[in-house]
Structure 1
Amino acid sequence: MDKQWLYNFAARALPKPKRKENTLSAFLGSTAKRSVFQKKCTDVLHKHRCVGASITFFSLDGTMSRVLYGLAAPDTPINDDTHFRVASVSKLITALCVMKMEENSDISIYDDIHDYLPYRLREQPISLKQLMTHTAGLHDGDSYNNLIGTGVPVTELINSENVLPSADKYDWEYSNFGAGQVACVLESMLNKSFEMIMQEYLFEPLKISASFYPQHIGKNIANSYNVLPFKEQPALDAKLRVSRSDKGWDKVNQLQHYTLSQGNCFINADGLVQIGNAFLRQGYLSTDTLERMKTPYASFGKADYRLKQGIGSFIIEDNTIAKYPLYGHQGYAYGSIFGLYIDNENNDGMVFCSSGCSLARKYVMADINLDIMKIWQNRELWK
């Protein structure tokens, strides 16, 4: 029997944990709507067994409505400044930075990455655009999944499990291995560490508190917990991550830095709002560049019929949520779900971060993200 089906059944059938303490830290609507909005959000978080979470609905002018729920760590409530490892939302964050560098004519996303890297993935050319649209013919094989995080150099992962013979035969395949190569390519192109590039081109200009090294954040970082079955030992222990050495963060090291851009950004909800607004409208990037990022380059196919692939972004076409495309990215790791999505028709967006929740889903999109998106699209609740 399918493991995901069993998980989904357990998420529905098993008793829910107690509802967590929660607060409304910001609200755009009238006083009369406050309690209704807060209950709608907390009902969804309770339904999906959240340990802790932050839901933010934001407008282009910077105003927002936000609910904080539960714990980031034992005896540590989620607050406005809690930082999260936002998993694959890092791909959208990285893509914004890459496109800024292209606008500045510092790089080209069409060059063959092998002209810069100290190693080859295969003989056929691969571009940054292909890496960011998952059309490079790369795969997350067993050797990648078993060895990532062990410190092995990337050259040990260049094999037939992870590198398909040619991209020509494969329209699209979501690949963390491929997305992680983006950091290595940027380091080779600019002769700077990936972290320094991200700070210089994205985080500092937008005044965002974020890093691909949790040691640089220090305190107020959420753990991530598995909730089915619930385990008290976090799957991601923030204090343990912070205690590790960050040696080499400021050095170019393409053989080791393939574990950053695919999912290792630590950022708070306010930072994600800034990222969302940069993706929403002209300012940080030009209108033309934003349109290119939101152009569909591939379809997820059977993986999720509702999704198409932009540059570093998902294009969500689901009439049960909105009658037009929405844009953004989902994160999914260590028992936690994340989401950053924007609505160009209404000039607003949503940010969801968690420290552990149900991973129930039918396709790629997590059920909890879909439920929160439906609240977001009901603007009478929060505006």
Structure 2
Amino acid sequence: MYNVKLLKNVIMKNKMKALVLFFAIATSQAVYSQEISFDSEKSAEIKNYIKHFEDSNQLMGTVSIFQNGREVINETFGKRNIKTGSLEERKYAIGSTTKLFVGVLFAKLKEDNRISFVENLSNYFPEIPNANKISIRQMLNHTSGLRDYVSKGDSLHFWLTKPRATEEIMDEIISAGVAFQPGDSFEYSNSAYYLLGKILEEKYNKSFSQIIQDEISAPLNLENTFVIDDEAEQNSIAKSYEQKKGEWVEVEEFYFPNTFSAGGIASTAFDLNTLLVSLFNQEIIKDKTLKAMLPMEDDWFGLGIMKAPFYEHTSYGHGGDTYGTHSVAMYNPSNRLAVTYMINGEHYPTNDFAIGLLSIMYGKEYTLPDFKEYKGNEKYFELYEGNYGAEGFPMNVKIYVEEGELKAQAEGQPSFTLTPTEKHVFEFSKAGIEIGFKPFENTLILNQGGQVFELKQL
């Protein structure tokens, strides 16, 4: 559900930003077809790789891999629900992967001459700012300029964890306004996709939930794919977890009916791969229509679908984060490979996990992470405490101790726990942050993505 922004000078990966993180390690963009063999050796290597993270208590989730339309890997790891210990087939909230469904539905309407992508939003919602200038195409490819209702303008980031009336959400979309004129720039917009769902309901004359069932789930036999419409359905999907002091703790999630067509679908890894295979086999829309959905050569986003390069390989699909889940579904047409991973408990960065997984699949080198735990010396924690800043650094950082854990909090951001890695050195792996302390010099060294900053106690 979240907005995609690169983390540069920001201290942490704000949970309201990282909706979709596709990994890009594009050393070359040459396109060629290379047969990938899933023999018993490769399958065993993938299963052992996944088990390494489960045994180390780093991740919980599901991985499914299809080759030539047939599932060759399906591994569920960790527990679906910590309280029950169930390992039954998991249905997950898929967050913004919902947008892939929306894109497909609009492509079907376009193919049937029931909508034009150049028509304006004002035909449906004239009250939205710039509605007479914003086209359906611009809403689909995130160039509408509409700001994001999920990140509420008054900084109540988690306002969607409780049920909200449609009128309240529409009022927020209107009051949030626009960030730029349509077509002038790119900004990920859940607001645009919320409105697109309302347009679908008008075109099909039925609820979004029924549209998904009638147009996608039933025809493709996706038995575990549905719109989360109420609390009972929300309780039927995998819970979300984060680690605190080595224990998995449940995360308060979205109330998913609030996310609607921007992020309200639940599914399984098997179903998402089935959708992608069907889409690229022209079982849903024609090849010409599909090609019109895909991103242009220099773009990352198309019409509800994203590009995901990995070395010389290019896949297409979508991903989505909620407050506690991380999902990506993608298809490589050159190798006819579909890969979906769905994580509902993340301690090790999901993106790094995915890079290792793809490295095995495509025969690239990778290093299995070492999870030997380093115990920090708590006697130093009080020496680290304080507010840190530096000239030119965009915000001050507070370091403090809470319930025996060292925490950091940048101004205007949620706090996060620092994990010790060696003497006076800590990390927040989800955002790729390393913080080193010089306790007797009142200095903090922050390293993120190769950028190093020296902050002093204020």
Q: Report TM bin, short chain.
A: 0.7 to 0.9
Could you tell me which amino acid in structure 1 is paired with residue 240 of structure 2?
S
Could you tell me which amino acid in structure 2 is paired with residue 142 of structure 1?
K
Q: Which structure 2 residues correspond to residues 294-309 of structure 1 after superposition, within 5 A? A: 294-296=294-296, 299=299, 308-309=300-301
1:260 Cα deviation after fit: 0.9
Residue from 192, 209, 215 that aligns with 1:178: 192
Cα distance in 1 for partners of 2:280, 2:242 equals 32
1:134 matches 2:148? no
> Is the Cα contact below 8 Å between 2:54 and 2:78 reproduced in 1?
no
Q: Report the RMSD for the aligned CA atoms in angstroms.
A: 3.2
Match of 1:336 in 2: 325
Residue from 37, 62, 67 that aligns with 2:70: 62
Deviates more, 1:158-167 or 1:176-185: 158-167
Structure with more of its chain in helix, by fraction: 1
In structure 2, relative to structure 1, the CA distance for the partners of 1:125 and 1:351 (3 Å cut) is: same
> Is the Cα contact below 8 Å between 1:131 and 1:182 reproduced in 2?
yes
> Is the Cα contact below 8 Å between 1:44 and 1:372 reproduced in 2?
no
Match of 1:35 in 2: 44
Cα distance in 2 for partners of 1:46, 1:90 equals 31
In structure 2, relative to structure 1, the CA distance for the partners of 1:32 and 1:64 (3 Å cut) is: closer
Cα distance in 2 for partners of 1:139, 1:230 equals 37
1:350 Cα deviation after fit: 0.2
Residue from 70, 73, 80 that aligns with 2:81: 73
Q: Which protein, 1 or 2, shows the higher relative CO under an 8 Å CA cutoff with sep ≥ 6?
A: 1
> Is the Cα contact below 8 Å between 2:99 and 2:261 reproduced in 1?
yes
Match of 2:354 in 1: 369
Match of 2:164 in 1: 151
SS in 1 for 2:75: strand
In structure 2, relative to structure 1, the CA distance for the partners of 1:230 and 1:176 (3 Å cut) is: farther
1:317 matches 2:309? yes
Could you tell me which amino acid in structure 2 is paired with residue 109 of structure 1?
F
Give the share of equivalent positions with the same residue, in percent: 19
Match of 1:212 in 2: 227
Per-residue Cα deviation, 1:299-328 (whole angstroms, up to 9, x for no partner)? 4xxxxxxxx111112112342xxx042211
> Is the Cα contact below 8 Å between 2:145 and 2:178 reproduced in 1?
yes
In structure 2, relative to structure 1, the CA distance for the partners of 1:217 and 1:151 (3 Å cut) is: closer
Could you tell me which amino acid in structure 2 is paired with residue 143 of structure 1?
G
1:115 Cα deviation after fit: 0.7
In structure 2, relative to structure 1, the CA distance for the partners of 1:173 and 1:62 (3 Å cut) is: same
Cα distance in 2 for partners of 1:273, 1:350 equals 7
1:345 matches 2:361? no
1:112 matches 2:83? no
1:57 Cα deviation after fit: 0.9
Structure with more of its chain in strand, by fraction: 2
Cα distance in 2 for partners of 1:6, 1:118 equals 33
SS in 2 for 1:352: strand
Match of 2:264 in 1: 264
Per-residue Cα deviation, 1:227-253 (whole angstroms, up to 9, x for no partner)? 366675422569xx79xxxxxxxxxxx
> Is the Cα contact below 8 Å between 1:48 and 1:368 reproduced in 2?
no
1:62 Cα deviation after fit: 2.4
1:66 Cα deviation after fit: 1.5
SS in 2 for 1:270: helix
Match of 1:83 in 2: 91
TM-score, normalised on structure 1?
Answer: 0.74
Per-residue Cα deviation, 1:75-116 (whole angstroms, up to 9, x for no partner)? 33333x311001111111221122122222333333212212
Match of 1:98 in 2: 106
Match of 1:198 in 2: 212
Cα distance in 1 for partners of 2:140, 2:348 equals 25
TM-score, normalised on structure 2?
Answer: 0.63
Q: Any stretches of 5+ residues in structure 2 without a counterpart? A: 1-8, 16-36, 365-458
1:196 Cα deviation after fit: 1.5
> Is the Cα contact below 8 Å between 2:96 and 2:263 reproduced in 1?
yes
Per-residue Cα deviation, 1:256-282 (whole angstroms, up to 9, x for no partner)? x77211111111222112112123332
> Is the Cα contact below 8 Å between 1:177 and 1:258 reproduced in 2?
no
Cα distance in 2 for partners of 1:310, 1:6 equals 25
Task: Say how many residue pairs are matched.
Answer: 325
Cα distance in 2 for partners of 1:230, 1:179 equals 37
